[in-house]
């Protein structure tokens, strides 16, 4: 099932609100107090490691005590914490479901094609990275995946979870892009990013992200790239550059990219709006449903 942009935003808003309400209810005021297993017990859910194959986590609901079983093969603490927080999203937000069995892809917003899994992941991210604690830290440094990695370490979450959350609050003109098999699969932009990125399109060879799929090493840190290698639209000044930082995600045969428009690159065309009609209809701050729908 695909979701409209309005439905995705409403899902995000509601899930974040419920997570923030829970943080207030539990009187959590510091990152160190976000003990996800203790929170689960407060919600009458017992976390059990092991006894699960072929999935990342499973929620079994019962009237008195629910059970969250986590795959014992998960070695990364941030990934395990997110799996538990994700299942708590199912527990609190989807009370008509008695059982939730979630794969690794179900827990990642840009791979899942399920509204319920999306909702649970947004809740889990907001629970582990509460708005009042996370948002101020997004203003502390220039955009970079190094900074996002530091946020991930501080909140004990995965880089994937922290990156998606970072774009939610980033005060700069940035866009998170995930590419797979040489094609753009997902992108999420800050509200003021202002440019179109084509989902499902092959990466421009001039992008650094394309190097990974050519078997070449990715450069470290933010690097200049021609704006037109990534961006579409009539306002692009082809002589301008933006900043790109890309890192490999080999286990998913994917590349995560952070784009930053660090200066004015706009070339205004008299009588033209920001996007033409076709671009406006096909682009969105979340490209999740449009990208997945074509698989």
Q: What is the pLDDT of residues 81-138, one digit of tens each?
A: 999 999 999 999 988 776 788 988 888 776 676 788 889 999 999 999 999 999 999 9
Domain boundaries, the chain: 5-135, 172-292
Helix/strand number for the chain, H first, E second: 10, 9
Which residue blocks in 106-233 are alpha helix, DSSP H? 115-128, 131-134, 145-155, 159-169, 209-213
Q: Domain 5-135: which topology?
A: Arc Repressor Mutant, subunit A (1.10.10)
- Average pLDDT (183-190) is 91
Identify which of 61, 64, 55 has the alpha carbon closest to the alpha carbon of residue 83.
55
pLDDT-based confidence at residue 145 (cuts at 50, 70, 90): very high
> Using an 8 Å Cβ cutoff, are 82 and 124 in contact?
yes
Mean pLDDT for 13-34 is 95
Q: What fold is seen in the domain 172-292?
A: Beta-Lactamase (3.30.450)
CB atoms within 10 A of CB 96: 5
Residue 287 pLDDT grade (very low, low, confident, very high; cuts 50, 70, 90): very low
Q: How confident is the model at residue 272 (pLDDT cuts 50, 70, 90)?
A: very low
Confidence class of residue 173 from pLDDT cuts 50, 70 and 90?
very high
């Amino acid at each position: 099932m695909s979701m409209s942009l309005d439905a995705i935003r409403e899902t995000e808003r509601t899930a974040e609100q419920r997570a923030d309400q829970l943080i207030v209810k539990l009187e959590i005021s510091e990152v160190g107090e976000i003990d996800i297993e203790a929170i689960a017990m407060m919600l009458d859910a017992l976390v059990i490691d092991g006894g699960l194959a072929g999935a990342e986590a499973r929620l079994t609901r019962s009237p008195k005590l629910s059970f969250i079983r986590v795959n014992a093969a998960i070695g990364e603490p941030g990934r395990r914490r997110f799996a538990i927080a994700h299942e708590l999203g199912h527990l609190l937000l989807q009370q008509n479901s008695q059982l939730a069995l979630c794969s690794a892809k179900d827990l990642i917003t840009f791979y899942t094609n399920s509204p319920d899994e999306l909702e649970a992941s947004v809740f889990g991210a907001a629970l582990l990275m509460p708005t009042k604690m996370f948002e101020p830290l997004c203003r502390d440094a220039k955009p970079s995946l190094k900074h996002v990695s530091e946020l991930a370490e501080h909140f004990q979450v995965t880089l994937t979870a922290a990156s998606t959350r970072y774009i939610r609050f980033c005060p700069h003109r940035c866009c998170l892009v995930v590419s797979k098999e040489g094609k753009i699969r997902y992108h999420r932009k800050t509200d003021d990013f202002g440019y179109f990125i084509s989902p499902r399109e092959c990466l421009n060879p001039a992008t650094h992200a394309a190097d990974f799929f050519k078997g070449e090493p990715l450069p470290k840190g933010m690097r200049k790239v021609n704006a037109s290698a990534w961006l579409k639209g009539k306002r692009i000044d082809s002589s301008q550059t933006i900043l790109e930082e890309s890192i490999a995600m080999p286990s998913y045969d994917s590349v995560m990219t952070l784009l930053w428009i660090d200066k004015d690159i706009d070339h205004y065309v008299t009588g033209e709006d920001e996007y033409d009609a076709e671009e406006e209809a096909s682009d969105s701050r979340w490209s999740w449903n449009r990208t997945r729908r074509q698989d």
